[in-house]
Amino acid sequence: MQITKSENSSWIVLTLVGKLDNTGAAELEAALSPLLTGGSVALDFTEVEYVTSSGFRTLMVGLKQQSANKGQFVLAGMSAPVRRFFDIAGLGRVFKIEADVQTLIKAGA
């Protein structure tokens, strides 16, 4: 998985490319952990191919930690198949999921 960090307005955006599988989950955890300090973090899923259970676990841990620090944790730009993975796993309602990162940043969510 390729992970690119950028800052836009008050948001830190991690753009993810590839598969959020065992390897990708470990890479995401390493990139994400230092950012979960209570600010605004968005993950851009536009180029994510699929998510496995280890990927879901990493995202859940991130959400829990960011929520404990009173921060925002938003997923954006999911393709329909990836969104279905979340819905089937029952996580579509757990995470805040936006259509795309640009809309999220403009809205200041």
Alpha-carbon distance of 28 to 80, in angstroms, equals: 21
Q: Do 78 and 99 touch, CB atoms closer than 8 A?
A: no
User: What distance in Å separates the CA atoms of residue 70 and residue 93, rounded to the nearest whole number?
Assistant: 19
Range of the domain at 28: 2-107
pLDDT tens-place string over residues 17-70:
999 999 999 999 999 999 999 999 999 999 999 999 999 999 999 999 999 999
Neighbours of 11 (CB within 10 A): 18
Global pTM reads: 0.94
Q: Domain of 26: which CATH number?
A: 3.30.750.24
Query: How many residues does the structure list for the chain?
Result: 109
User: What's the total number of domains in the chain?
Assistant: 1
**Residue 53 tokens, joined:** 């259970």
The whole-number average pLDDT for the span 92-102 is 94
